[in-house]
Amino acid sequence: MLPNAPVNGHVSHWFDGLPISRAPLPGSRDADVCIVGAGYTGLWTAYYLKRADPSLRIVVLEARFAGYGASGRNGGWLSGLVPAERDRMARRHGRDGVVAWQRALNDAVDEVIAVAAEEGIDAGIVKGGTLEIARNPAQARRLAAAAEEERRWGVDGITELTGDEAAQRINLDGVVAGFHNPHCARIQPAQLARGLADAVERLGVVIYERTPVTEIAAGGATTPWGVVSAPVVLRATEGFTTRLPGLKRRWLPMNSSMIATEPVPEHLWDSIGWHGRETLGDTAHGFFYAQRTVDDRIAIGGRSVPYRFGSRLDRDGRVPDATIKRLGATLYSILPQVASVPIAHAWCGVLAVPRDWAATVDFDRASGLGWAGGYVGHGVTATNLAGRTLTDLVLGRDTESTRLPWVGHESRDWEPEPLRWIGVRGLYLAYKAADWHEARGTKRTSPFAVAADRIAGR
């Protein structure tokens, strides 16, 4: 146990002080649409479906409470990041489609902001963009290539920065280069999830919490408390998909961890800056992601135990002490000014990774079954676009959204154990070795990272 140990687990720091009160399913019932999962995907889908057709009887089933999964544990980046490898998707679906997808995701950032304002959801939203940094020559080469790649995919507003220019935004230690992408907002993720749940209830959608779904089939969803029968059943279970029959290997539940400090004193903020509330990330292979929170803490995350054998899941977000130490060391390395500020909370959660690292949205009209997910950690904004796309698919609309390349995209299943565990463990050991190698001054991406990319099939 760490000295002066932070709160460890209890889902996430983002839920502190937020009410959790909805009742479970009281028994079997009928609906027009049954949505399994009350995270962002399920809630956005319910929101847009009910807005499009107020007569629909929509039921949302949630195993724990709204936002319990990745929606309430993520880093709070409302960004236009594409949940796929764009080059690979372009080879399969065409470049124009991927460009359209990128633009739709950038637009979705503003769509979420607009809906939050319209529905009175206070999610601490500040659209300050993302600051990506490099701290050694190899990272700087990748950073420059990444900035150019963003422009190649039609992302406007990319600004490349020298180390000094990056430090003027956030006074980070050892930064040699950076770039700013305007298509991102800082949010408090649990407040968005809970506010969105309240909004769909006001529209007439019924949410049942504490209601785990044990089976999804054409015509309904089965729970311990009864069956919700519906001609349309939509799966929005992301990292928890592995628990459903027949889906154990569909998506890999990848683990990511976070810590949050105590509130940082004002005099330290004077030395740090961060006045634009940019989200912050780096180009290391074992990358971090961070934000200045609504209550002036620093929340920072990264991979720790990336995958548990047999697709096992965490226990309400609890993380190993070693993870807390590692993330704290990363934080104090980039911001030594806060070395005296204690870590207050640590947590983790799972995100879903398809075998080809590409998310999907689909609806089979014959069976009435639909699904969306596999966001590879880029789901905060993508879920909004997925919800609107599922709405169009269910209602039989032919729209720009339904023609995007992730619609109907198929990925093969992951390998059986122990190959799955060996592969993921090897992947992250190689990335760790690559970061160690590059920190010693090499100017090119480490061969360890090249090997890791091959392991991942990226």
What is the percent of the chain with per-residue pLDDT over 90, rounded to a whole number? Answer: 84
**Residue numbers of the domain that contains 174:** 125-188+253-355
**In Å, how far from its chain's centre is CA 238?**
10
112 to each of 41, 220, 292, 403, 405, how far by Cα in Å? 13, 30, 20, 21, 21
- Which residues does 279 contact at the CB level (< 8 Å), separation at least 6? 75, 76, 77, 79, 128, 129, 130, 131, 184, 186, 289, 290, 291
Confidence (pLDDT) at 1: 43
Rounded to a whole number of angstroms, the CA Rg of the chain reads 21
Q: Are residues 11 and 152 in the same domain?
A: no
- 117 within domain boundaries: no
- 408 within domain boundaries: no
Confidence (pLDDT) at 242: 96
Choose among 151, 69, 99: nearest CA to 375.
Answer: 69
- 271 within domain boundaries: yes
For residue 78, the domain's CATH number is: 3.50.50.60
Structure tokens at 203: 């529209």
Across 59-73, average pLDDT = 97
- 59 within domain boundaries: yes
Across 7-16, average pLDDT = 92
- Which residues does 178 contact at the CB level (< 8 Å), separation at least 6? 131, 132, 133, 134, 143, 160, 161, 162, 163, 165, 166, 169
Q: Are residues 134 and 100 in the same domain?
A: no
- 211 within domain boundaries: yes
Give the DSSP H or E segment for 118: helix 95-118
- Which residues does 217 contact at the CB level (< 8 Å), separation at least 6? 233, 369
- 22 within domain boundaries: yes
**Above 70 in pLDDT, residue 40?**
yes
Helix, strand or coil, per DSSP, at residue 8: strand
- 70 within domain boundaries: yes
- 409 within domain boundaries: no
DSSP state of 19: -
Confidence (pLDDT) at 181: 98
Q: Are residues 385 and 442 in the same domain?
A: no
Confidence (pLDDT) at 309: 86
286 to each of 118, 302, 330, 430, 449, how far by Cα in Å? 38, 7, 11, 10, 10
Q: Are residues 326 and 372 in the same domain?
A: no
| pLDDT tens per residue, range 223-263 | 999 999 999 999 999 999 999 999 999 999 999 999 999 99
For residue 363, what are the β-bridge partners? Answer: 370
Q: Which amino acid is at 123?
A: A
Q: Are residues 346 and 374 in the same domain?
A: no
Across 194-211, average pLDDT = 98
The band of 43, judged by pLDDT with boundaries at 50, 70 and 90, is: very high
| pLDDT tens per residue, range 176-197 | 999 999 999 999 999 999 999 9
Q: Are residues 173 and 218 in the same domain?
A: no
Q: Are residues 213 and 348 in the same domain?
A: no
Q: Is the peptide bond before 418 cis (omega within 30 degrees of 0)?
A: yes
When divided into structural domains, the chain yields a total of: 3
Q: Are residues 165 and 271 in the same domain?
A: yes
Q: Are residues 149 and 266 in the same domain?
A: yes
Q: Are residues 173 and 305 in the same domain?
A: yes
Q: Are residues 50 and 132 in the same domain?
A: no
Q: Note the pTM of the prediction, 2 decimals.
A: 0.95
Q: Are residues 261 and 142 in the same domain?
A: yes
